[in-house]
Amino acid sequence: MTPSKTNTSARALQAPAFLISAASARQFPGDGRPEVAFAGRSNAGKSSALNLICERRKLARTSKTPGRTQLVNFFDVEAGRLVDLPGYGFARVPPAVRAKWQTLVESYFSQRDALRGVVLIMDSRHPLTAFDEQMLGWTLAGGLPTHILLTKADKLGRGAQTDCLRSVRKALEETPATVQTFSATTRIGLDEARAQIQGWLTEPV
Ligand SMILES: Nc1nc2c(ncn2[C@@H]2O[C@H](COP(=O)(O)OP(=O)(O)OP(=O)(O)O)[C@@H](O)[C@H]2O)c(=O)[nH]1
Ligand SMILES: [Mg+2]
């Protein structure tokens, strides 16, 4: 049997490189390379997850301040493209900024023909918020494969991690969404997350 370390699906996504920060849909790249988007609440850990999956600490900017990523950031990897979406659900943003976010993210989901899947990041200490439900509504209604990372699992004990995973799986059992535990700090669930993304980028459609 091949040990998981030599399995290509569990390796870091190769040759990650920043491509473009898009402030509007006109700036989204149009070359049709297969794409996987990272979505989730502000401060949930999207950029941290993307960085760990690529094994590059400063690829996407991370911050303690919610709302750090306000543009749609595109990164090329060997197998395709990863997209860091701006976070949603940050209470203190002015309504105009929130409306702009909504337009940008909605136009992203409605226009990306090469989008193979969405990694939806939720903080495992408070998963399935109303915003998460809204995002899931968009991805599932659009028929987009959706994989949930219950991140910051390092902040929970083993028992609480299992409870969280079980309850989110139960809540979504009628949907095609898949769910796993993750931590960008302790690398819990890293191989599983990478394998999912690599699979989406490389499997024929
Ligand atoms: N303990 C722990 N902290 C994490 C983890 N992932 C992210 N963080 C921290 O959470 C904060 C937010 O992380 P980001 O990756 O910037 O979150 P984001 O979802 O990209 O946030 P926005 O760009 O604002 O939408 C940072 O202080 C990270 O260091 C994790 O798995 N465990
Ligand atoms: Mg971010």
Q: What is the pLDDT of residues 25-80, one digit of tens each?
A: 999 999 999 999 999 998 899 999 999 999 998 898 887 766 666 789 999 999 99
Q: What does CATH list as the number for 12-26+34-202?
A: 3.40.50.300
Q: Which ligand is nearest to the CA of 52?
A: 1
The reply to whether the predicted model has a pTM over 0.85 is yes
The set of protein residues with a Cβ atom below 6 angstroms from ligand 1 is: 40, 42-48, 62-64, 66-69, 87, 151-152, 154-155, 183-185
C-alpha dihedral, 176 to 180 to 184 to 190, nearest 10°: -100
pLDDT tens digits for range 163-199: 999 999 999 999 999 999 999 999 999 999 999 999 9
* Average pLDDT across the chain, whole number: 89
Side-chain half-sphere CA neighbours of 147 within 13 A: 22
